[in-house]
Amino acid sequence: MTNHCVFSANEDHETIRNYAQVFNKLIRRYKYLEKAFEDEMKKLLLFLKAFSETEQTKLAMLSGILLGNGTLPATILTSLFTDSLVKEGIAASFAVKLFKAWMAEKDANSVTSSLRKANLDKRLLELFPVNRQSVDHFSKYFTDAGLKELSDFLRIQQSLGTRKELQKELQERLSQECPIKEVVLYVKEEMKRNDLPETAVIGLLWTCIMNAVEWNKKEELVAEQALKHLKQYAPLLAVFSSQGQSELILLQKVQEYCYDNIHFMKAFQKIVVLFYKADVLSEEAILKWYKEAHVAKGKSVFLDQMKKFVEWLQNAEEESESEGEEN
């Protein structure tokens, strides 16, 4: 150990940063050292057990600062997934200290962006032993350590991953024309297992249903084809549009789809009426969509298409109210 060694330095961010600047300046001047330094850091992290707790802390701080200023790539973190480090809790403890130093240099967005680029965003749970690889355990551990941003990031990533898997499986089941009752049961089980709200599922269902068909390229024929197809799956959509917000999301998805697929432009109103008659969409949801909850895509075209039907709904509502008053 030389007189100038990070392990002999004071355990504070500013002091460790000075050491990081030495490495940073050296590597900027002598680019050929970059790869060698990265490889050596990976080796050091593999053998963290050889260092005392204080030395591990200083090395974690140095690594975090070097990751923050771009001297090291996030791929060095793969060394932390070594079984021996994970089992003894060294990996998670070291990672927390490293991420804190990294965020002190940059911010949470910089950290999460680098993790994504290195394809490590989906591997963070591997910092813990298999019996503790749950989002809840990760969230508590990192939130207690003052890293709530990373805890929230993992929850979002896990949710996105879950939705992709669910969409893939749904697509497969629809292409095999599984009975709707079986699909409903499967989706409900997945919602319960992954704590997914109905609002997250309804859009996936719409996408999968529309992807399950080879659509006719002729505008005059595609509307008839769409109505026949959607009538078949209306009972499935009805199960997962029991909340007002879910209905609005479905309406917006239908609007966006009809705008993005030009052959469907004239079919929008017919699809909405079909869903209304099949109890997928309520009168309240359609009126709210019309007044304030529509998206910008094709807004004027679709509002114009819906005008007469909305007027009919409003008149029917007024008539039922007046009948109620008379009674």
Give dist(CA 323, CA 217) in Å, integer. Answer: 47
CA 82 vs CA 40, 72, 208: distances in Å: 16, 19, 39
Local structure of 108: helix, strand or coil: helix
DSSP letter, residue 200: H
Asked if 212 and 175 count as a contact pair (C-beta separation under 8 A), the reply is yes
Are 193 and 262 within one domain?
yes
- pTM, two decimals, is 0.59
Number of neighbouring beta carbons within 10 Å of residue 248: 22
> Is 126 contained in some domain?
yes
pLDDT of residue 259: 94
65 and 107 belong to one structural domain: yes
> How far is 324 from 318, CA to CA, in rounded Å?
10
Write down the pLDDT at residue 155.
78
Two structure tokens written together for 164: 């992709």
Same domain for 98 and 134, yes or no, is: yes
Distances (CA, A) of 94 to 89, 142, 202, 208, 307: 9, 12, 41, 42, 61
What the block records as the tokens of 287 is 């009126």
Which residue segment(s) compose the domain that 317 sits in?
A: 177-322
The answer as to whether 172 is a domain residue is: no
Does residue 171 lie in a domain region?
no
Query: What is the predicted pLDDT for the residue at 157?
Result: 76
Residues 121, 45: one domain? yes
Residues 6+ apart with CB under 8 A from 208: 167, 170, 171, 174
113 with 230, same domain: the answer is: no
Report how far residue 273's alpha carbon sits from residue 218's, in angstroms, rounded to the nearest whole number.
Answer: 22
Q: Does the residue 12 lie in any domain?
A: yes
The verdict on 63 and 200 lying in the same domain is no
In a domain, 199, yes or no: yes
Are 181 and 268 within one domain?
yes
**pLDDT tens digits in sequence order for the chain, 327 residues long:** 567 889 999 999 999 999 999 999 999 999 999 999 999 999 999 999 999 999 999 999 999 999 999 999 999 999 999 999 999 999 999 999 999 999 999 888 889 889 989 989 888 999 999 999 888 899 999 999 999 998 888 877 777 777 888 889 999 998 888 899 999 999 999 888 877 888 889 999 999 999 988 888 887 788 899 999 999 999 999 999 988 899 999 999 999 999 999 899 999 999 999 999 999 999 999 999 999 989 999 999 999 999 999 999 888 766 666 555 555
Measured CA to CA, the distance from residue 324 to residue 110 in angstroms comes to 60
Task: Say if 170 falls within a structural domain.
Answer: no
Question: Is 278 in a helix, a strand, or coil?
Answer: coil
Whether 91 and 127 have beta carbons less than 8 Å apart is answered as yes
Q: Decide if 289 is inside a domain.
A: yes
Residue 217's pLDDT is what? 82
Same-domain status, 195 and 303? yes
Domain count, the chain: 2
Q: What is the pLDDT of residue 228?
A: 94
Q: Is 261 within a domain?
A: yes
137 shares its domain with 203 = no
Residues 20 and 142 in one domain: yes
Specify whether 114 is located in the same domain as 198: no
Please list, in sequence order, all residues whose beta carbon lies within 8 angstroms of the beta carbon of residue 92, skipping any fewer than 6 positions away. 86, 127, 128, 141
What span, in angstroms and rounded, lies between the C-alpha atoms of 148 and 111? 13
CB count within 10 Å of CB 239 equals 18
* Cβ-contact 283, 320 below 8 angstroms: no
Asked if residue 63 and residue 35 are part of one domain, the reply reads yes
**Spatial distance between the Cα atoms of 59 and 3, rounded to a whole number of angstroms:** 17
**CA-CA distances (angstroms) from residue 155 to 111, 134, 180?**
15, 10, 30
| CATH (domain of 235) | 1.25.40.180
CA distances from 13 to 41, 101, 109, 214 (A): 19, 7, 20, 60
